[in-house]
Amino acid sequence: MLGVTTAADRLDLAWAEAIWPESLREIRFLSYPLFMWLNVFVSIPLLLGMAWLLTRGLLRLLRPLDARHSTKPGQSALARIKWLLFLLIFSLLMRLVATQAVTAEGRIIVTSFADVLIIVAVGWLLVRLTKLFARMKTRQLREVGLPGRIAAVELSNWLFVCVWFIAGLFLILRSLGIELTAVIAGLGIGGIAIAFAAQKTIENLFGTVMVVADEAIQVGDYCQAGTIEGRVESIGLRSTRIRTLDRVLVSVPNGQLAAMSIGNLARRDKFLFRHKIRLRYETTADQLRDVLAEIRKMMLEHAKLESATVSNRLIRFGDASLELEAVAYVLTRDGDIFLDVQEELLLRIIDIIEASGTAVALPTEAAPAPKTFAPNTRARDTQEK
């Protein structure tokens, strides 16, 4: 025992203890020496001040990058992560100061607290940087005219945020000395229960992955999904929003959308022009041949029609007219241009019919069935009597 006491007296005092007079080392407050409380109250403001100065210096160094990668004109991108950088630097300084703690208990407590702060700061910083990168990528896609890829960026952003959150949670539990084997086993059992309870949510999430990965539709495409027809406005994590022709915003769960047969009208390479032309039965054979020849010639000479697909035939003798059919593909991807070409073709077909001396047959309605009246048996019996 005497040897232990002698060895303890020969040991040098820790720096955090040696700077205080012996009187403060002897006085105790709440079972701890008074100088230890003074160390806490003095070191925290000093660390905060040093962290603030280092943060400002780092922001000045990164200011040239901030001007090039800001999400909006006049808005600082570094302003969104300034306080996270401050928290990270403060926690790193605290981790260094923890090595100068007087007691082993103090070193363990301060080190554990600093580790948790570092993990929180790094995880939160990664989340903010991921969202910042997603915003910049979204803005870039809008500027270059590729809004259809925004859904993939949003999905990747959500997956990375989940990864940072889960990784940070496990690292915090590990730094606090919690056994992760039992936690993982509990999460496995709980995950099965959650999967059954949130079956529809998980179905929609996997549907989102399939819709985005398959690229069947993208934001801005005009599509037909089941009985819904309209333009895709957004593809979210749970549902896809489609603006219909009557301006109704329909939200379709992605789980259902992934199982539907989707017609993407924006992906077609050309439009089909196909119309039936009905002529009067008074049309002579020569007039009919002239109409067929002129319509075929006009369509073959049209620059917007695919000449190999042009077809103009007499298809049948209808009940009230001679029926012709004009078919061709219009070489355009734009629906408005197709409507202009279709209108031009129909007007020129009318001109050809009028020039040939015949006319378009008028639509006819089925004649109503004649009304029949049942004989009045009572009146007949009266007359017979």
User: What residue ranges do the domains of the chain occupy?
Assistant: 11-178, 218-267, 271-355
Whole-number pLDDT of residue 276: 93
Assess contact for 327 and 346: CB atoms under 8 A. Answer: no
Which residues have CB under 8 Å from 201's CB, separation 6+? 238
Whole-number pLDDT of residue 382: 42
Question: Residue 72 burial by CB count (10 A; 0-12/13-18/19+): exposed, middle or buried?
Answer: exposed
User: Residue for token digits 């086993």?
Assistant: 185
Q: Which CATH architecture has domain 271-355?
A: 2-Layer Sandwich (3.30)
Whole-number pLDDT of residue 327: 95
Q: Measured over all CA atoms, what is the biggest interatomic distance in the chain, rounded to whole angstroms?
A: 151
Residue (of 288, 233, 235, 227) closest to 260 by Cα position: 227
Whole-number pLDDT of residue 223: 86
Those residues of the chain that have pLDDT short of 70 are 1-42, 64-78, 80, 98-107, 145-151, 179-206, 214, 364-385
The tens digit of pLDDT for each residue in 118-140 reads: 888 888 888 888 888 888 877 77
Residue (of 121, 94, 119, 120) closest to 109 by Cα position: 94
Residue (of 346, 359, 345, 357) closest to 279 by Cα position: 359
Please report, as a single letter, which amino acid is at residue 36. M
The tens digit of pLDDT for each residue in 186-216 reads: 555 555 555 554 556 666 666 777 777 767 7
Q: How far apart are CA 221 and CA 336, in angstroms?
A: 15
330 beta partners: 271, 305
Q: For the chain, how big is the Rg over CA atoms in Å?
A: 40
- Can you give the length of the chain in residues? 385
Whole-number pLDDT of residue 376: 46
CA-CA-CA-CA torsion sign (220, 221, 222, 226): negative
Q: Which CATH class is domain 218-267?
A: mainly beta
